[in-house]
Amino acid sequence: MKSTSVLSIGCSLTLVFISITSNAEKIPAPLETLVIYGSQPDQWKLERQSIINTQAGFSVGARLDPAELLTTIPGVQVDSRTNYAQDTRISLRGFGARSAFGVRGIDLLVDGIPMSTPDGQGQLSSVMLDTVTAAQVLRGPLASLYGNSSGGVISLQTSAPERSLLSVAGTSSDQGLERYQMQGDFRQGDFALRGQLADTRLDGDRPHSAAEREQAAVQLFYNIADDLDLRVKHEQSDDPLLEDPLGLTPEQWHADPWQKNSLAETYNTRKSIKHQQTSISLREEDGATRWQTSLWQGKRDITQYLGFVGDGIAGSGGVVDLARDFAGGSATVTRSAALFSMPIELSVGAEMAQMEDRRRGYVNNLGVAGDLRRNELGEVSSRDLYSLIQLNPVQQFTIYSGVRRTWLDVAVDDYFIVPGNPDDSGARDYREHSYAFGGNYQFDNYWEIFASTGRGYETPTLTEMAYSANATGLNIQLEAAINRQHQWGLQYHQENQLQVSLTHFIINTENEIVVDQSVNGRTSFRNAAETEREGVELFARFTLNELWQLQASAQSMQADYSAGQWDGKQLPGVAREQYQVGVEWLPLGSKLLQVNLTAQHRSRIFTADNNQVAAPGFHTMDFSIQGEYAIQSWGINWWLKLANLSDENYVGSVVVNQSNGRAFEPALGRNFSGSVKITHHF
């Protein structure tokens, strides 16, 4: 990255609203607040966020896939590809369903630091999920105030060490998984330090699906004063080998979902990734004026071998060589005051972010990089201003309003200009704004109603602009998609016993960005006319007694094109119905033994705009047991999990608008895994 890029300041919008200190007992918790890090608020509202405690039995797993943390949250669709070369696809109310790889259309945060680039592309594969203590999801109109491509916000949180310890853990499964993890925590007064190492090897169920991953992370926590906190984090991941088994046609999947795709062997399809990111956050959270600021910088190198030669002079090659540099920072100030004796809070902030992609493409000579076919430099920079105001006219009533303005610039310089391949350089600027209005009324200690509306936007990513269908050059014809969201609902919260939330939403989008065609690894995008999504979400958690807890979520959503060529067709990659239910049992009345049974159902998913082919719906059940045992300064944690009890044969993910027909990516059949962790406290 250029020196100016390294010094540029970027950010993730981290709107943190804290009740007015002098009126803390008078004002209800603000609506749709996403707490980025720190302790969970005493009374959190299910409408604005669904919080899943990842230490609970409902999220037992090896911590290799964010699906383990998110599947029980209403509105979230997690497509498990069992393909570590392509990452898990996550969509929220349909946002992000078209992503060919990684996460698109959703803002990803870890401890308030973005895992998404300024153009809206993100991933969680490089994040060490072992110490994540909570997964929070913000959905609805207020999510649009988090900036570009914020159809929703997913925030993963870790907590500072409470005491010094050293732990080692091992995880294995019948898919040939071997994962070893070591963690050291140090705590003295206001200073804390955590270090982590992890090594993962996986053979995989499908042919040509092995994976290797090495990770390391260091976190520093320091309470400079009673109300001033500092966090510094460095994380790096090295994936030297991620084999890509590629997709199957429906006919191949029906005949044998575990068969090999011959192209994967012929072209030795695989990916290698090196990722590192360093961040620093500082915040003051008490007093009438609070503030927080963050800075981060990172680098991500990717080499990927695709399933074709890619020797066409006007193509981009069958081997991708990408070096990405990014940097950013943010600053937010919140002021508590009174307006005609009514408590009011005003938050204002600014952010800047920048990324540079040095992308090269080569001919794939049967798994060996050959002649150059692509050489370009892509740059994306964003600058944002935002503000949100919250007012409490009376104790039970809260209203809020927010606005955001974004300046996003995209430019590509082509350095591979030869006969037969013209100059593909290009540039495009986007100037967009978002806003949201809403309120909630708490009419007794347990019941609350809420409503909100707003406008958001989603610009195309640098990757989506890379290709033009049946033409050369940057796809500068792509317009930003504009969405208008409306939602309302009812919630009941009786602390430590029953929480229920029912939400109805409508999302209308103009210029929806959809896959145009996907041929030989080259995916182009276009603007659809209009789409409409309307649905209902339900979440419930019931603690029967000290031994039993139930949790359930459900979503029914109709997501269709509402104009244009595919008017009336269902959006590909999006399920109309999802249901999850989980039962947790503590037979001994303690965490010495915990038994869990979870089940989920998903309806069919179409693979393309024409709705001619669909991956069938499925239902699965998982059973797990786990326990914690402590003696003096030693502790043992263990878990065993039997997933997909009925050995259901189902498609975990589809490749949207895949022209070659290989759109089905099989999910795992019945599988068994387990882990043991030994901890020594000092």
Whole-number pLDDT of residue 8: 33
Whole-number pLDDT of residue 52: 52
Whole-number pLDDT of residue 453: 95
What token pair was written down for 133?
């203590």
Whole-number pLDDT of residue 436: 93
509-534 pLDDT, tens digit per residue, is 999 887 777 665 567 788 877 899 99
Whole-number pLDDT of residue 226: 76
- SS3 of 46, please? coil
Question: According to DSSP H, which parts of 20-71 are helical?
Answer: 67-70
Whole-number pLDDT of residue 565: 85
Residue type, 164: S
For 578, phi and psi rounded to 5 degrees?
A: -140, 140
Q: What would you report as the CA-atom Rg of the chain, rounded to the nearest whole angstrom? A: 24
Average pLDDT (569-578) is 93
Residue 22 has pLDDT above 80, yes or no: no
The residue behind tokens 């990172």 is 298
Residue type, 651: V
Residue spans per domain, the chain: 3-548+559-681
Whole-number pLDDT of residue 630: 93
43-55 pLDDT, tens digit per residue, is 333 334 444 544 4
Length of the chain: 682
Query: Regarding beta strands 103-104 and 121-122, do their DSSP bridges make them parallel or antiparallel, or are they unpaired?
Result: antiparallel
Nearest Cα residue to 414 out of 508, 560, 300, 316: 316
Of the two residues 345 and 150, the one the predictor is more confident about is 345
> In which band, very low, low, confident or very high, does the pLDDT at 393 lie, cut at 50, 70 and 90?
very high
257-281 pLDDT, tens digit per residue, is 989 899 999 999 999 999 999 999 9
Whole-number pLDDT of residue 431: 94
CATH architecture of 3-548+559-681: Beta Barrel (2.40)
146-199 pLDDT, tens digit per residue, is 888 778 888 888 889 999 999 999 999 998 999 999 999 999 999 999 999 999
Whole-number pLDDT of residue 75: 86
**Stretch (H or E) spanning 3:** helix 3-7
What token pair was written down for 554?
């459900």
Of the two residues 407 and 2, the one the predictor is more confident about is 407
> Which of 142-156, 198-212, 564-578, 659-673 shows the lowest mean pLDDT across its residues?
142-156
Whole-number pLDDT of residue 102: 73
221-238 pLDDT, tens digit per residue, is 999 887 789 999 999 999
- SS3 of 7, please? helix
> Which of 4-18, 194-208, 654-668 shows the lowest mean pLDDT across its residues?
4-18
609-645 pLDDT, tens digit per residue, is 899 999 999 999 999 999 999 999 999 999 999 999 9
What whole-number percentage of the chain has pLDDT above 90?
A: 57
Whole-number pLDDT of residue 494: 86
> In which band, very low, low, confident or very high, does the pLDDT at 249 lie, cut at 50, 70 and 90?
very high
Residue type, 433: H
Query: Regarding beta strands 152-158 and 522-527, do their DSSP bridges make them parallel or antiparallel, or are they unpaired?
Result: unpaired
**Stretch (H or E) spanning 256:** none
| Pairwise CA distance, residues 677 & 675, whole Å | 7
Average pLDDT (55-71) is 73
| Pairwise CA distance, residues 133 & 216, whole Å | 18
DSSP, residue by residue, 622-644: EEEEEEEEEETTEEEEEEEEEES
What token pair was written down for 367?
């798994």
**Stretch (H or E) spanning 109:** strand 107-110
Greatest mean pLDDT among 2-16, 125-139, 185-199:
185-199
Whole-number pLDDT of residue 513: 83
429-466 pLDDT, tens digit per residue, is 999 999 999 999 998 889 999 999 999 998 988 888 87
For 255, phi and psi rounded to 5 degrees?
A: -70, -45
Residue 568 has pLDDT above 80, yes or no: yes
